[in-house]
């Protein structure tokens, strides 16, 4: 039995969990999310808890047991608290500003890069070099943050670029450090 899958999920006040055919719908104060459940898994709602059970002991059912429970738990957390990722811009002249709901990034290209938020995602700016990506869907928040980071990944030599808050960049030595100060091989 999956250690994670057999744990019941507590449903907090103000959150409703419904089952419609093979779809779990969670709604709360921050929004509403839905998730399809595979036929190998059974979802049961009783006494303010969501219970996840597998119908058989096949390999696919065992692998889906824990992940289904985690997805539903993340949906409940998302509609109550919201998920977020923080990105930092490092580099001379690198800055971000908001134009309506969109972001305008100046990250060393000849033109500014405009990023529109997907449905259910919003951006907050702190200073001129910190971006906070917020939303109720954990997967969408992470994907949006990753796509913003892909615009200008951190450079391995100067560590310039867009990175997650707290991310450490291992820098490589430059050509002068390899050859030596005198230019000898």
* Per-residue tokens: 32: 């509403």
The 10s digit of each residue's pLDDT in 89-108 is 999 999 999 999 999 999 99
**Given pLDDT bands bounded at 50, 70 and 90, which one contains residue 52?**
very high
* Mean of pLDDT values over 106-134: 95
Q: Decide if pLDDT at 180 tops 60.
A: no
Cα separation, 154 vs 152, in Å, equals: 6
Q: Decide if pLDDT at 75 tops 60.
A: yes
Residue 170 lies in a domain: no
Residue 30 lies in a domain: yes
Q: In terms of domains, do 20 and 62 share one?
A: yes
Cα separation, 125 vs 114, in Å, equals: 14
What are 76's strand-pairing partners? Answer: none
We report the CATH number of the domain holding residue 55 as 3.90.930.12
Q: What pLDDT, on the 0 to 100 scale, is given for residue 30?
A: 93
Residue 74 lies in a domain: yes
pTM greater than 0.75 (yes/no): yes
Average per-residue pLDDT for the chain: 91
Q: In terms of domains, do 50 and 87 share one?
A: no
Residue 179 lies in a domain: no
Pairing, β 130-135 against β 83-90:
antiparallel
Residue 151 lies in a domain: yes
Using an 8 Å Cβ cutoff, are 173 and 163 in contact? no
Domain with 25 in it? 9-80
Q: What percentage of the chain has pLDDT greater than the value 90? A: 84
DSSP 75-125: HHHHHHT-EEEEEEEESTT-EEEEETTEEEEESSSSS-EEEPPPTTEEEEE
Q: In terms of domains, do 90 and 159 share one?
A: yes
Q: What pLDDT, on the 0 to 100 scale, is given for residue 175?
A: 80
Q: In terms of domains, do 89 and 154 share one?
A: yes
Q: In terms of domains, do 17 and 89 share one?
A: no
* Per-residue tokens: 129: 């070099």
Residue 19 lies in a domain: yes
* Per-residue tokens: 55: 């119908």
Total domains in the fold of the chain: 2
Task: Say whether 26 sits in a helix, a strand or coil.
Answer: strand
């Amino acid at each position: 039995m999956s250690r994670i899958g057999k744990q019941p999920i507590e449903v907090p006040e103000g959150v409703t969990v419904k089952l419609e055919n093979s779809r779990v719908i969670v709604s709360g104060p921050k929004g509403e999310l839905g998730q399809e459940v595979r036929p190998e898994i059974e979802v049961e709602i009783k006494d303010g808890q969501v219970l996840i059970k597998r119908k058989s002991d096949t390999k696919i059912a065992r692998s889906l047991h824990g992940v289904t429970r985690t997805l539903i738990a993340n949906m409940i957390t998302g509609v109550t608290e919201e998920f977020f990722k923080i990105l930092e811009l490092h580099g001379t002249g690198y800055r971000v500003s908001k134009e309506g709901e969109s972001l305008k990034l100046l990250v060393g290209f000849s033109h500014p890069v405009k990023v529109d938020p997907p449905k259910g995602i919003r951006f907050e700016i702190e200073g001129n070099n910190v971006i906070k990506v917020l939303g109720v869907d954990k997967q969408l928040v992470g994907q949006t943050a990753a796509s913003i980071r892909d615009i200008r990944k951190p450079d391995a030599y100067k560590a310039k670029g867009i990175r997650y808050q707290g991310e450490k960049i291992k820098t490589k030595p430059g050509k002068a450090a390899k050859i030596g100060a005198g230019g000898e091989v």
